[in-house]
Structure 1
Amino acid sequence: MATLPPAHRPPGPRGHGREIHTLAEFDAAAARPGSLTGHRIQSIDLTGRTFTLLTAVTTEAVFLGCRMEPEAAAKVRADGALVFPPVPELPFDPYRARLYTPEELYEGITDAGYGGTPDARAYAWFGRTRADGDILSSMLRSLHDDAVSDALDELLDGARVVGVMGGHAMGRGTEAYAGAARLGRSLARAGLTVATGGGPGAMEAANLGAYLAPFEDAALTSALDLLARAPSFTPSVTDWARAAFAVRDLWPHGGDSVGIPTWFYGHEPPNPFADHIAKYFANAIREDGLLARSTAGIVFLPGAAGTVQEVFDNATPNYYGSRGDPTPMVLVNRAHWTEHLPAWPLLEALAAGRPMAARITLVDSIDEAPDALERLAKA
């Protein structure tokens, strides 16, 4: 939701109880004494509520992307409400009140292929506007990303979130992919909310494991075999995504997890196994937000530059204590992190003599990670 000056913020943490996301919530609020005073109404079609808007008290209310009849819009503005109108012909809703779902981002992929999906169209818009210097485009991106952050905070309120980081190049059909899926399944079965960067490879595998956690172990084995027929999102995102949705169709209503991808890396499509997708335009906000929300710790699987960056982006607040107590960090694959990309020696040297030293560890295999994470959490 758009950030407002302090004098106009509703009481309570993040305005809980004052944000209206559905018509049912709108009707309930409008029926109470004081009506809609001070409420924040996000992205609702109110064209069928003209009489209510004409008779309600809307002083200091904020309407974000709500469709209204002209007379209703004029009346609420006259009351002193702040109205952010819908933006026509935009391939995304900058005021959205909820996170994305896989079905929403991939709508139409069965018939038209990936190029016609809302995800692809939003990336195409981003490609056209990211460098044009148009303040309207940059403002719309900022509004969208702030709304996504607001929805993400509401979803994760009180959850024990564990991040799983790793490279996008990890292919379906490999043992590494299967191991990352087992990891996601183990973490989800332990009552943790799995959060990833939301893309392919290790990220998809961890979300897949969390999705299939409620089912028998044989479901994961079968799903891995099916997915191996489309091992990578290159050269065809369409085939890659359709294989994932085929798995979802065979095992519907799986477990929840979170994916936090970005259109900044438009060549990396979001994976369909995270039921809650917080997709951002600004990669820096997405990166920091993913790490900061992983309050139960982070498992770092082998990866390249992006994963190395995430290791030290998370190590910095642990080093300085800027987010409170250090969060657990588990690095997986000794050879990768000590020889191929020797991040572990530097991380260990940074931690020496500091509280974070008791919250970092290096393990040889991915199957050791859940126990290591639990051990560090108690340190």
Structure 2
Amino acid sequence: MDDQPQETARHRGPVVLRGARMHEDTTTDQRLLDSRGPTDWVHTDPWRVLRIQSEFVEGFGALAELPPAVTVFGSARTAVEHPDYAAGREIGAALVRAGFAVITGGGPGAMEAANRGAKEAGGLSVGLGIELPFEQGLNPYVDLGINFRYFFARKTMFVKYSRAFVCLPGGFGTLDELFEALTLVQTRKVTSFPIVLFGTAYWQGLLDWLRSTMLAQGKLGEADLALLHCTDDVDEAVDLVQRSQLDVP
């Protein structure tokens, strides 16, 4: 039997696009947020509400029976041979052994590493993907995957179904999720929610700036800085997550 061609694909939410259809220049989020162009948005935006609603319904339905889970963030650009990939893989496995499912953004790099570690350890590996112009789909180690059109719907799922965040070295996306989580904890929108930064050499510059600039100028308090835990030890990271769950009913 001849081998079938492995054609690349692009996801638009739950929709898979191949061939000429995959070369669209814009994403759903961009079309929603971009205020330039004709005024037909007056007529189309109300209908977008139904699509947004469907993403929440789909996410809540798929994840409702999820066991206690931890989200692992990190760069999609992390190479397989990089030490951060090995760390992500180890963290995913350690979280499973501690009784947690593992959630990631479903992409390559550090996200793939955490999903891979969870799957290899026999646990539940979850990926919450997002429609992007350069997106490649969910990594092959995801057991339960959902593709979202809208970042804000996806972010809700990360927070709602996670007991903690572990952040491996990453870029803007990782920082976005990190600071959103910090804001939610600081304002008590979520409780008993540890945020662990893994990789002291990578994160120390950020922590130093928070202390020397934001704290020094009164933009933060000591209690705010205490919301962040930084470590290079996988067992310590998992222990921080586990200890926080003692207060969760």
Which residue identity is paired with 1:307?
A: T
Partner of 2:203: 337
Distance 1:115 1:144, change over 3 A: farther
Q: Which structure exhibits the higher relative contact order, with contacts defined as CA atoms closer than 8 Å and separated by 6 or more residues?
A: 2
CA distance in 2, matches of 1:195, 1:344: 29
1:319 aligns with 2:217: no
Q: Is the 8 A contact 1:167 1:307 kept in 2?
A: yes
Look up the SS of the partner of 1:112 in the other structure: coil
Q: Is the 8 A contact 1:298 1:330 kept in 2?
A: yes
Gaps of 5+ in 2: 32-39
Q: Is the 8 A contact 1:126 1:263 kept in 2?
A: no
Partner of 1:121: 17
1:275 aligns with 2:143: yes
Runs of 4+ off more than 6 Å: none
Which residue identity is paired with 2:142?
A: A
1:145 aligns with 2:43: no
More strand by share: 2
CA distance in 1, matches of 2:25, 2:130: 13
Q: Is the 8 A contact 2:9 2:16 kept in 1?
A: yes
Amino-acid identity (%):
28
Kindly tell me the number of residue pairs found equivalent between the two proteins: 222
Partner of 2:230: 362
1:371 aligns with 2:229: no
Distance 1:139 1:377, change over 3 A: closer
After the TM superposition, which residues 271-310 of structure 1 pair with which residues of structure 2 at under 5 Å, given as runs? 271-294=139-162, 296-310=163-177
Cα root mean square deviation, aligned: 3.2
Q: TM-score, normalised by structure 2?
A: 0.75
Deviations 1:307-362, CA, capped at 9 Å, x for gaps: 11111100011001022x240111111121122xx1565289546236x83x5311
Deviation at 1:363, TM superposition (A): 0.6
Distance 1:127 1:256, change over 3 A: farther
Q: Is the 8 A contact 1:344 1:362 kept in 2?
A: no
CA distance in 2, matches of 1:276, 1:147: 16
Partner of 2:34: none
Gaps of 5+ in 1: 1-109, 215-254
Higher Cα radius of gyration: 1
Match of 2:110 among 192, 195, 202: 202
Deviation at 1:115, TM superposition (A): 2.9
CA distance in 1, matches of 2:140, 2:81: 17
Match of 1:262 among 101, 117, 130: 130
Q: Is the 8 A contact 2:95 2:238 kept in 1?
A: yes
CA distance in 2, matches of 1:285, 1:352: 31
Which residue identity is paired with 1:152?
A: A
After the TM superposition, which residues 1-379 of structure 1 pair with which residues of structure 2 at under 5 Å, given as runs? 111-115=4-8, 120-121=16-17, 124=22, 130=28, 131=31, 133=41, 135=44, 138=48, 141-156=51-66, 159-214=67-122, 255-264=123-132, 266-294=134-162, 296-323=163-190, 325-339=191-205, 342-343=206-207, 346=210, 349=215, 350=220, 352-353=222-223, 357=226, 359-366=227-234, 368-378=236-246
Distance 1:302 1:366, change over 3 A: farther
Deviations 1:234-264, CA, capped at 9 Å, x for gaps: xxxxxxxxxxxxxxxxxxxxx3221111113
CA distance in 1, matches of 2:150, 2:142: 20
Deviation at 1:291, TM superposition (A): 2.5
CA distance in 2, matches of 1:352, 1:330: 17
Deviation at 1:124, TM superposition (A): 3.1
Deviation at 1:306, TM superposition (A): 1.1
